[in-house]
Chain A
Amino acid sequence: MFSLLRTCGFPCVILVTMRGEFAEFNPWQVPMGSITETSLKLCGFLTYRVDAAEEVDEIVDAGCDMAFSGNLAVAILLSQRLIGRKVWSR
């Protein structure tokens, strides 16, 4: 589906809530989570990682500017550390 972005020059912004990294409990999430950013770059995305909640607004705003003013593909990865450590036992 990402081929559309390149062949037609569509602007695109995707927000990715990450798994498979910081304090990940479930190993099944790691194979894809650990290559998400690399894979998106290969698919032609500019990627930005956000690790702190207070940076989200500014980076999403900047990403939208880049995508929609330049017909670019931008992926913003909201890191697992930002989302917070999951509680696996109750």
Chain B
Amino acid sequence: MLERRQFVTRLLANREDLLVVTGLGSPTYDVAASGEHPLNFYLWGAMGGAAMVGLGLALAQPNRPVAVITGDGEALMGLGSLATIGVKQPKNLSIVVLDNGHYGETGMQPSHTKAGVDLVAVATACLFQHAALVADLKRVDDTRALLHSGRGPNFIQATVKADDLPRVLPNRDGHAIKDRFMQALRTER
């Protein structure tokens, strides 16, 4: 099982032009903890929508890699979006689910993945080009390379410990997050 922040920090190392969308709750804090970056689009709400925000970005920016880093509860709430991603086949999109098997924000109730619902099998059935379970930090470099491979859509279910880590809170002002992201998109490159 992975330490979630160690995994995310390694995954986002040397990220170059990677665009990152975070699912609300712990994945937002994990990405913020890995280092502030103007190409992070932090979701603080819209539960179930992270993969679709990523799909929209991937279609609008087809020459840049896009990674959605979210949790199992958030992904489960938007399962239908995996089918839509399968239909659209964005080569530059990766969905990374940090799966702790729990709804961390609401009191650690067990999620459906805890009961055995297999998100990798769902992604495979939804025509993702690559879908895998990652539970060992030895595989983080391969996973990082996958995000930049341009051979997606990719789905990674990363099994992480159900830790209760200190919160690292990025900006909550949606307009500011959006404006900073758009500005960085225009000026980098």
Q: Which residues of A contact B (CB under 8 A)?
A: 1, 3-4, 7-10
Contact = CB atoms under 8 A, between A and B. Distances in A.
Contacts of B53: 4
Nearest to B48: A1
B178 A9 contact: yes
Interface of B: 43-46, 48-49, 53, 174-175, 177-178
Residue in B48, B49, B175 whose Cβ sees the most chain A Cβ within 10 Å: B175
A83 to B, nearest CB: 25
B69 to A, nearest CB: 17
Contacts of A9: 174-175, 178
A10 B178 contact: yes
Contacts of A3: 45-46
Contacts of A8: 174-175, 177-178
Contacts of B175: 7-9
Contacts of B177: 8
Contact of A7 (B45, B48, B49): B45
A9 B181 CA distance: 13
Contacts of B45: 3-4, 7
7 contacts: A3-B46, A4-B43, A4-B45, A4-B46, A7-B45, A9-B174, A9-B178
A51 to B, nearest CB: 31
